[in-house]
Chain A
Amino acid sequence: MASNPTNKKGEPLKTLSKKDITQLGINSLTEQIAFSFERMQAPGWTMNMIPGFKKIYGDSKEDLSEFMTYNMEFMNTEPHMATLLQGMVLAMEEKGTDRKLISSVRNGLFGPMAGIGDSLFWYTVLPITAGIACSLAKSGSVLGPLVFIAIYLVVGFSRIWFAHLGYNLGSKAVEKVGTATKYLTGAAGILGTTVIGALIPSYVTVEFQKKLVFGVGSTTVQSVFNQLLPNVLPLATVFLIYWLFKKKHVNTIAVIGGVIVFGLLMSLLNWM
């Protein structure tokens, strides 16, 4: 790789200013919009980074299309951690890092980062803030909601700080990578796949209802699957859909529609 990376039109890449990173932090306030069960946060996540990406890569449509496409893959993390990761992604894009590596880093980190963010914001900041606000509000004092609003104003805009943190971490990491990109892409792929394996049981639920038994006896259907291997149904479902996409090239819309019909049918039959 040349020391001065260029976009696909051969123009040198531009760098982001501090203001651009601050703007990224503000943009990422909407990281979670257009949320759906299928791709979760991917739409907002991608949209937030486009202005920064365009600044770096100019009007190179080919780069933008690649960038939007790999970022539209499944994404779900805690929103502040998303901002941090967005900073890292743009820092790596700015250095012209191989997109395979960036995408592997993205896919490997969002899950574990969600754990950190959730325990920080949902299980620490919310109970403490709500505890203080409720004790004030119980007697009808407006200080309760006002304190709550004020604290969350700070929590919301702390995304700016997370954007800078992520960008700085990303830039430093890239400098150290140097010639090892090829090996790191493989290593990041291993990390990403391991984590996706763990996300299957935590995100996908396919379970027959407890009372469903085979025609005779009292062996429940679900207990048979559980004795074979717990979570075998979520795993099988992911592989079935993977197979439909990869070998049968089935349309996503057909698969989603199929899943909804399946849910309604299972509910109607009272099987799940």
Chain B
Amino acid sequence: MQLTLVQGLLLFIVGAICQFDQQTEAFYWFRPMVASFFTGIILGNVELGVTCGAVTELAYLGMTNVGGTVPPDPLFAGIMTVVLAYTTGKTPETALGLSYPFALLAQGIGILFKTVYSFVPHKLDKYAAEADVKHFNGLIWGVTIFEAVFCGFVIFLCTYALQAPIQAFVNSFPTWVTHGLEIAGGVLPAVGLAMLLLSTLKPETYPYLFIGFIMATFLKMPNVLPVAIVGAALAAIDYRYQKRFDECGTAAIDDGGDSDGI
């Protein structure tokens, strides 16, 4: 069965809304369980939407956004599995496999946005310095809504107009470009962390950077909590010594001058 233009346009709107939710991670409407359900309603086959949602949700359960990574896209997978099951008449399990190129396409789009949007904070820094809230918020909302509408439009193209060409496009896309952006995505957090270090790194805090780095490199930890506890312990030791140091009045070094003390 083919989709009608109205159904395609409705998927555009629902897709954009769910993609906005994906950016916020507020209500989890980007999960296949919900996105497939909405798609089923639009296509007039709720049961198909719900069963496809269950199959796809389980398949994408392990693919999380933890730590700022971008996995194959659960939203596109959720919508396309239902659409493909509907148009081809195949089982949800088979449609899930067919939807994978679309999940990869959306993953690529996600990485592209997060890479290109690395330019946005630079502009925001300027507005922050000027305390220009109007432009600051305006730019944030502008880029957010643009991304949501863009993804909604891609969903419209995938579902209504260009399903077959897009599938062919994803399969023939030069992988070096996507892979190159992936590499850049792995390096870009270094820029943010370097800027953070501009304000935190001082001669007296240098050693602690290496303690944290070595712990994270050589110890198998589920998260950075153990490092934070060690950091807090070191901070507590330093706190006591600094305080005692000043109370004894041994050194005449007061405020400020510590950093260039010889």
Contact = CB atoms under 8 A, between A and B. Distances in A.
Contact of A237 (B124, B187, B222): B187
Interface of B: 23-29, 31, 33-34, 36-37, 46-48, 50-51, 53-54, 57-58, 61, 64, 66-68, 114-122, 124-125, 127-131, 133, 136-137, 139-141, 143-144, 176-177, 179-202, 204-206, 208-218, 222-225, 227-228, 230-232, 234-236, 238-239, 242-243, 255
Report which residue of A109, A142, A196 has the largest number of chain B beta carbons within 10 angstroms of its beta carbon.
Answer: A196
Contacts of A267: 176-177, 179-180, 182-183
A contact patch SS? helix
Nearest to A255: B191
A178 interface: no
Report which residue of B127, B140, B209, B236 has the largest number of chain A beta carbons within 10 angstroms of its beta carbon.
Answer: B209
Contacts of B180: 260, 263-268
Contact of B182 (A148, A153, A203, A263): A263
A191 B223 contact: no
19 contacts: A40-B189, A64-B133, A69-B125, A72-B124, A73-B196, A115-B225, A141-B50, A142-B37, A183-B239, A183-B243, A192-B200, A196-B200, A199-B216, A203-B68, A238-B194, A241-B194, A242-B201, A259-B191, A272-B183
Sort A-B residue pairs by CB-CB distance and give the 7 closest, nearest first.
Answer: A115-B223, A197-B212, A263-B184, A205-B186, A194-B231, A267-B180, A68-B128
Contact of A112 (B33, B185, B223): B223
Given A130-B61, A138-B51, A187-B236, A37 B189 contact: yes
Given A115-B222, A134-B58, A47 B239 contact: no
Given A64-B131, A70-B199, A203-B68, A197 B189 contact: no
Given A37-B185, A187-B236, A242-B197, A152 B54 contact: no
B67 A202 contact: yes
Interface of A: 29-40, 42-44, 46-47, 50, 54, 61-62, 64-65, 68-74, 76, 79, 103-104, 107-109, 111-112, 114-116, 118-119, 122, 126-127, 130, 133-134, 137-142, 144-145, 148-149, 152-153, 155-156, 180, 182-184, 186-207, 229-231, 234-235, 237-239, 241-242, 244-246, 252-253, 255-256, 259-260, 262-268, 270, 272
Contact of B27 (A115, A156, A231): A156
Given A148-B33, A189-B202, 5 more contacts: A65-B129, A130-B57, A144-B33, A190-B205, A197-B212
Given A47-B136, A195-B224, A256 B191 contact: yes
Nearest to B133: A50
A31 B24 contact: yes
A260 B213 contact: no
Report which residue of A30, A47, A137, A255 has the largest number of chain B beta carbons within 10 angstroms of its beta carbon.
Answer: A137
A157 to B, nearest CB: 9
Contacts of B37: 142, 144-145
A33 B24 contact: yes
B182 A241 contact: no
Contacts of B68: 35, 37, 40, 76, 203
Given A141-B50, A245-B198, A267-B177, A119 B222 contact: yes
Contact of A34 (B27, B144, B202, B212): B144
Contacts, number: 395
Given A34-B117, A262-B187, A196 B197 contact: yes
B79 to A, nearest CB: 14
Given A32-B24, A47-B136, A152-B28, A256 B120 contact: no
A265 B180 CA distance: 7
Nearest to B49: A145
